[in-house]
Amino acid sequence: MNAEKYDPTALETGLIGGPEKRELVIEDYNPDWPERFARHKDRIEPALSGLKPTVEHIGSTSVAGLPAKPIIDILLIVPDSADEETYLPQLLTLGYQLRVREPDFNEHRMLRTPERDVHIHVFSAGNGEIDRYRLFRQHLQNNPDRLTAYAALKRELAKKSWQDMNEYADAKSGFIEEAIACERKADVQKAGTR
C-alpha cells in the first residue's frame, strides 16, 4: 500500500474525492473473511497501541453465512475520533486512505485500502453508532430467518443500477433500522428476566 501523508491543514470534509460509480457485486459468504479482518486488526492495534483502541469486524462479512460485497468493514473505536492526529498519521503510514470525514455525523471517519476491499469506520468511544453496528450484527447472528431475508434483499438490490454505494445503502436502511429496533427490544427483555 502507498502511504499518504497526514496534513492537518487539509481538512476536506464529507466524501473525500467525490462519489464513485462502482460495480455492485454480492458474493456468497467467504470463510476467509474473518481471517482477512484479523490480518488488518493485527496491523492496526500495534500501530495505535497508545490509544488502546477497540477493533471489531462489522458489516455483512462479519456474519457467517451472509452473502456480501467482498469488503471487510472494521469498527475502530478510539478515545476521540475528531482528534485525528492521534490515529490518522499511523493509519496513513500503514497504507490506508482517508475517504470520509464527517464532523457533523458523530465525528465519523472512514478509511479504506487502495484496493477498496477494506473500510475502517472510526468512532469515539461511547458513540451511539457503535451499538447500532453491534446490534445489527447480533440480530443477524441470532435470527437465521432474518439473515435469509436480508440476504435476499441484498441480492435483489444488487440487480438494480445505483449511482453510488450510498444509494444502495439507503435502500437497505428500512430493514436495518427494523433489525436494530428488534434487537434493542430483545436486549431489554433479556435484561428484564435477569
Dump pLDDT digits (tens) for 118-158: 999 999 999 999 999 999 999 999 999 999 999 999 999 99
- Nearest Cα neighbor of 138 from 79, 66, 55 is 66
DSSP string of 90-144, one letter each residue: HHHHTT-EEEEEETTTTTEEEEE-TTS-EEEEEEETT-HHHHHHHHHHHHHHH-H
15 burial via Cβ count (<10 Å: 0-12, 13-18, 19+): middle
Residue 143's pLDDT is 97
Beta-strand relationship, 72-78 and 54-58: antiparallel
User: Could you tell me the pLDDT band of residue 9, with boundaries at 50, 70 and 90?
Assistant: low
pLDDT tens digits, 81-93: 999 999 999 999 9
The CA distance from 104 to 92, in Å, is 22
Residue 184's pLDDT is 94
The CA distance from 100 to 159, in Å, is 26
Whole-model pTM over 0.85: yes
Domains of the chain: 23-192 (3.30.460.10)
